[in-house]
């Protein structure tokens, strides 16, 4: 019995600790065109961003780590936007007013959208909040990151830079 308990702990611990996988095969972006939080703006079609490196971040107003992540995402957009990075934040709030209040408190320097119905997170297979999907210029998902931890920032920044350089060199 003790053996099975130990085996379970050994197998389950990485699931709790690992932030998310770097994908060996790069799956194509699932269909997703969330509405803009600002109702006047046109919907964000992720497939139209082909040609740019895209970081898609699923967030919610009720998710505390999502608020912490916004500082990092703003910095990424400001630093690498000119080199071809677009950060897209997709809120999963049921009520757009909650998302708007959140954005007033934590302004975003990147486009934000909302998917109250949950089609996008369902299509992406979101398993945690926040979840980020790094997408290459061909519209393929390269890396999934679950949660936000300050300790992961350097590695995530490096992954974005690597993808920007890779794309400039012609991809793989």
Partner 1 sequence: MSAFTRLAKRRMCGVACVLTLFACSGCAGVPAWERGDLARPEMALEPQPGQRALQEHVYSSREAGAAGATGQGGGCGCY
Residues that bind partner 1 in the complex, under the rule CB under 8 A: 19, 58, 60-66, 92-94, 118, 121-122, 126-131, 146-149
The DSSP code sequence of 94-113 is SSHHHHHHHHHHS--SS-EE
Closer CB to partner 1, 53 or 60, in the complex: 60
- What is the distance between the alpha carbons of residues 72 and 156, in angstroms, rounded to a whole number? 10
The answer to whether the CB of 27 falls within 8 A of the CB of 43 is no
Minimum CB distance to partner 1, residue 65 (Å)? 5
Minimum CB distance to partner 1, residue 154 (Å)? 18
Closer CB to partner 1, 89 or 121, in the complex: 121
Closest CA to 91 of 79, 103, 75: 103
Closer CB to partner 1, 80 or 102, in the complex: 102
Minimum CB distance to partner 1, residue 157 (Å)? 19
Crossing angle, helix 153-168 and helix 64-80, to 10 degrees? 40
Per DSSP (E only), the strands in 9-95 are 35-36, 53-59, 85-91
Minimum CB distance to partner 1, residue 88 (Å)? 16
Minimum CB distance to partner 1, residue 38 (Å)? 21
The strands making up 131-135's β-sheet, listed across from edge to edge, are 35-36, 112-114, 85-91, 53-59, 131-135, 141-146
Closer CB to partner 1, 63 or 113, in the complex: 63
Closer CB to partner 1, 28 or 64, in the complex: 64
């Amino acid at each position: 019995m003790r053996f099975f308990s130990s085996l379970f702990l050994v197998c389950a611990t990485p699931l709790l600790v690992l932030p998310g996988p770097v994908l060996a095969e790069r799956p194509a972006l699932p269909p997703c065109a969330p509405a803009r939080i600002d109702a006047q703006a046109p919907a964000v079609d992720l497939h139209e961003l082909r040609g740019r490196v895209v970081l898609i971040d699923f967030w919610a107003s009720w998710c505390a780590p999502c608020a912490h992540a916004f500082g990092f995402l703003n910095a990424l957009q400001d630093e690498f936007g000119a080199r071809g990075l677009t950060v897209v934040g997709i809120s999963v709030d049921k009520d757009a007013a909650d998302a708007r209040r959140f954005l007033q408190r934590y302004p975003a320097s990147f486009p934000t959208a909302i998917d109250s119905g949950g089609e996008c997170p369902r299509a992406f297979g979101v398993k945690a909040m926040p979840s980020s999907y790094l997408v290459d210029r061909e519209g393929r998902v390269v890396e999934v990151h679950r949660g936000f931890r300050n300790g992961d920032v350097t590695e995530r920044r490096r992954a974005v830079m690597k993808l920007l350089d890779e794309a400039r060199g012609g991809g793989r």
